[in-house]
Amino acid sequence: MELIANILLAAGAFGAAVYCYVLSRRLTRFTQLENGMGGAVAVLSAQVDDLTRALSRAEGAAGHSTERLEDLTARAEAATTKLELLLASLHDLPEGADRRTRFVRHRSARGAAEAAE
């Protein structure tokens, strides 16, 4: 009986040794940088760095676009105010008046000064 127990114990130890050896080989392949999980982690890390840089550039461009859009909005609001004033001044014209467009050239400051001499 003792011999059978020793044989089973030796077989169990041998099985455990084989299992540890196979596990060690698999773990070594798993962590290799060329084609294992370590390589995948390295590639993903590089991609995260690239995406972080791209995100920073996109945030900068969005900030610049926001500033430009605010400037254009302010200009549009100023133009709207001017147009509203022009439309309001058109309502003050009498109904029977001649509605043809007239352009009048104003004298410049220099021209007015020369005319005064």
CB 19 within 8 A of CB 12: no
How many CA atoms lie less than 13 Å away from 27 in the CB half-sphere?
6
Mapping DSSP to helix (H, G, I), strand (E, B) and coil, where does residue 94 land?
coil
In this prediction, what percent of the chain has a pLDDT beyond 90? 55
In this prediction, what percent of the chain has a pLDDT beyond 70? 78
pLDDT tens digit sequence for 32-55: 767 777 778 888 899 999 999 999
97 Rama sector, left if φ>0, alpha if ψ -120 to 50, beta otherwise: beta
Residue 17 is predicted with a pLDDT of 97
Residue 42 is predicted with a pLDDT of 82
* pTM (whole model) above 0.75: no
Residue 18 is predicted with a pLDDT of 96
Alpha-carbon distance of 51 to 5, in angstroms, equals 61
Alpha-carbon distance of 70 to 85, in angstroms, equals 23
CB 37 within 8 A of CB 31: yes
